[in-house]
Amino acid sequence: MASLGLLVVSCDSYKDKEANPDDLVEGDKNFAGEWRIASVKRNTIDITESLKDDLPDFRLHMNADGSYRLANGMPFPVEEDGLWSVDDPKHPFVLSFTENNAVGAVDVEITYPIVKGERQMSITHFPGCDANKYEYLLVRVK
Amino acid sequence: MKINKKAKHFAAIVVAFAAVAVACMEIKSINIDQPQPDGTMAPTIQAGETATFVLGCELNANTDVPEGRKLIVGMLAPRDWNIAKNCTMSAQASAGLDPEVIHEMKVIPNSTQPRNMPGRTWPEALMERFGLGPNRYNDMEWVAWEAVEAVPITNGDKFVYDVTIKCKTGASNLKTCLGFVINHNDDGLSQDDKHFKYAFSDLFTVHGGEGEEIDYTKVRFNSVIPSRALQNDLVTFTFNGDAFDNGLIESNQDIYFRGTAVTQEGNRYNGEPKLMPRENTFTHIYNCTLWPMKYFRDVLPEGETLIAIEYEYTNADGSIKLNKLEEEIISGGTPSDELQENPRYRFNFRCD
């Protein structure tokens, strides 16, 4: 009888944990913060080491109010400060920068892995020739 | 390797092709079909002209594949050629299939990964697997093409076909060994070498174009990556002090990059000498990566357009120099008058 009771309890508890897809709410991805470049790949080859004098000059401040500020010691899709947004707050694929006084936005493809509990942001862009692809891995400045 | 001596073709290499799971494929030959002004064929072409390469292939089927297979061909070439944009490929059978039908091939997009090398694009996977072959200068890229339509296969089929590759060459003078890989869509670069074969051509030369000839198979003092770049790219300049004996390395001093901005307006502005870190203690290879817009930010006047960098490698005070003129003399060449006048290396900003 005791074992049957346990079984019932365990079944109940299992049922309680069963996920209802409607109850799952995916949170918005948070990109606000001060970002630095942790690594750079050019045409898939890592060139971070050869840029170690330049990387500290780069900062991207993405503010929660939608504005951004750039200290661009590195080539970047935009040069001037302005406004940022994402195409979908829950599952963003594209990060858009609109420079102050600019007519259109500049879109960049992003991925945003979580590594050791910290969100990172990978930006792919082509600041020079179209044949030269750059992947910047950005991490938040602590 | 055997040399295929077709009367009117420059013969390159013949590679045996082993059986694959569904069929036995073979590259019979790689011909560089490049007519010269005198009517002969040779592996050399004027910069910017279109070169033709023909892979002779054979497929012997030992099973039925009603849904068919798509041929995949990879090619390695200097990034200067931009082959994804400037090459076309097609396959045409001489036996086993209708010889009138030209099978179109298209570049495999980066969203498609090789079945057996997931997590990589085709260019990344081909570079990882096959590398650069005899080439020493790594400013090259692999690109893969796939047949648009699958060809149904019946046990006992024997297809003999040519893959014709037409490439508009780049603007730079160079010598390189081109790479070719044949595979099919069902395999996608498995580890079993029965499923793919590869070959590198003999030296192919592009002449009559821009700049000094770069031999991709030789170690040189100076190299720039990427070879096509604009002012807003990150450009890596490498000084390989082991290429020949030279005074700069023998002086045992720090090595600096000294660059001068050349503008469309016809002016020149010197950037600050930049210390070049040594890659490791085993070789005398030094490099620095510049963002030209930043490197010349303080010296380039507003409104002038940067079109090129002239540069040389020096010691700290600039008294010992290694430039294009020095390289020409040290390597046993005869410097031109132009080089005597302007002895530095020059990198022009361009994309095509």
In this structure, the answer to whether residues B142 and B188 fall within a common structural domain is yes
Nearest to A50 among B79, B123, B236 (CB): B236
Contacts of A75 (CB under 8 A, 6+ apart): A127, A128, A134, B232, B233, B234, B291, B293
- Distance, CA of B19 to CA of B196 (rounded, Å): 9
Reply yes or no on whether the pLDDT at A139 is more than 90.
yes
In this structure, the answer to whether residues B241 and B109 fall within a common structural domain is no
- Distance, CA of B99 to CA of B93 (rounded, Å): 5
Closest chain A residue to the Cα of B293, Cα to Cα: A75
In this structure, the answer to whether residues B43 and B173 fall within a common structural domain is yes
Reply yes or no on whether the pLDDT at A100 is more than 90.
yes
Reply yes or no on whether the pLDDT at A81 is more than 90.
yes
Segment among A34-38, A50-54, A125-129, B333-337 with least mean pLDDT = B333-337
Sequence-distant contacts of B301-306: CB under 8 A, at least 24 apart? B301/B267, B301/B269, B304/B263, B304/B264, B304/B265, B304/B267, B305/B263, B305/B264, B305/B265, B306/B231, B306/B261, B306/B262, B306/B263, B306/B264, B306/B349
**How does pLDDT run along chain B (352 residues), one tens digit per residue?**
232 333 223 333 333 333 333 455 556 666 766 777 777 777 899 999 999 998 888 777 777 888 888 999 999 999 889 999 999 999 998 887 888 889 999 999 988 999 999 888 999 899 989 999 999 887 899 999 999 999 888 888 888 889 999 999 998 899 999 999 988 898 899 887 777 888 888 899 999 998 778 889 987 889 888 888 999 999 999 999 988 889 999 999 999 999 999 999 999 999 999 999 998 888 899 999 999 999 999 999 999 999 999 999 999 999 999 999 998 888 777 888 888 999 999 999 988 7
A42 touches chain B (CB under 8 A): yes
| Residue ranges covered by each domain of chain A | 31-140
In which band, very low, low, confident or very high, does the pLDDT at A29 lie, cut at 50, 70 and 90? confident
Residue B3 lies in a domain: no
Q: Is the dihedral of CA A26, A28, A29, A33 positive or negative?
A: negative
Q: Reduced to 3 states, what is the DSSP secondary structure of residue B341?
A: helix
In this structure, the answer to whether residues B80 and B107 fall within a common structural domain is yes
In which band, very low, low, confident or very high, does the pLDDT at A4 lie, cut at 50, 70 and 90? very low
Residue whose tokens read 């302007």: B342
How many structural domains compose chain B?
A: 2
In this structure, the answer to whether residues B286 and B315 fall within a common structural domain is yes
Nearest to A132 among B229, B231, B288 (CB): B229
Segment among A58-67, A76-85, B216-225 with least mean pLDDT = B216-225
B307: left (phi over 0), alpha (psi -120 to 50) or beta: alpha
- CA-nearest of B133, B199, B140, B155 to B60 is B155
Count of Cβ atoms closer than 10 Å to residue B111 Cβ: 6
- CA-nearest of B138, B212, B143, B139 to B171 is B212
A111 touches chain B (CB under 8 A): no
In which band, very low, low, confident or very high, does the pLDDT at A15 lie, cut at 50, 70 and 90? very low
CA Rg, chain B, in Å? 23
Q: Reduced to 3 states, what is the DSSP secondary structure of residue A84?
A: strand
Sheet holding B222-225, edge to edge: B222-225, B235-240, B285-290
- Write down the pLDDT at residue A21: 52
Query: Which parts of B154-284 are beta strand (E)?
Result: 158-168, 172-184, 197-207, 210-215, 222-225, 235-240, 256-263, 268-270, 274-275
Output the CA angle B175-B178-B183, nearest 5 degrees: 175
- Distance, CA of A10 to CA of A2 (rounded, Å): 12
In this structure, the answer to whether residues B270 and B168 fall within a common structural domain is no
In this structure, the answer to whether residues B299 and B195 fall within a common structural domain is no
Residue B2 lies in a domain: no
In which band, very low, low, confident or very high, does the pLDDT at A3 lie, cut at 50, 70 and 90? very low
3-state SS of B215-249 is: ECCCCCCEEEECCCECCCCCEEEEEECCCCCCHHH
Q: Report CB contact under 8 Å: A129, B231.
A: no
- Write down the pLDDT at residue B279: 87
What CATH number should be reported for the domain holding residue B88? 2.60.40
Q: Which parts of A31-124 fold into alpha helices (H)? A: none
DSSP β-ladder status, B256-263 and B222-225: unpaired
**Smallest CA–CA separation between B288 and chain A, in Å?**
6
> Fold for domain A31-140?
Lipocalin (2.40.128)
Q: Reduced to 3 states, what is the DSSP secondary structure of residue A10?
A: helix
- Distance, CA of B45 to CA of B37 (rounded, Å): 10
In this structure, the answer to whether residues B20 and B152 fall within a common structural domain is yes
Q: Which parts of B121-242 fold into alpha helices (H)? A: 122-130
B234 touches chain A (CB under 8 A): yes
B131 touches chain A (CB under 8 A): no
Residue whose tokens read 């080089």: B339
In this structure, the answer to whether residues B163 and B61 fall within a common structural domain is yes
Q: Which helix (H) or strand (E) holds B85?
A: helix B83-86
In this structure, the answer to whether residues B197 and B254 fall within a common structural domain is no
Residue B299 lies in a domain: yes
| Amino acid (1-letter code) at residue A141 | V
The answer for B 325-344 residues in CB contact with A (under 8 A) is none
Domain end (from B176, B196, B212): B212
What is the extent of the structural domain holding B302? Answer: 219-348
Q: Reduced to 3 states, what is the DSSP secondary structure of residue B324?
A: helix
- Distance, CA of B10 to CA of B4 (rounded, Å): 8
Instruction: Please give the full DSSP string across B97-121, using - where no structure is assigned.
Output: S-TT-EEEEEEPPTTS--TTSTTS-
| Amino acid (1-letter code) at residue A131 | A
Domain end (from B212, B227, B247): B212
A56 touches chain B (CB under 8 A): no
Output the CA angle B20-B26-B29, nearest 5 degrees: 160
Q: Report CB contact under 8 Å: B236, A44.
A: no
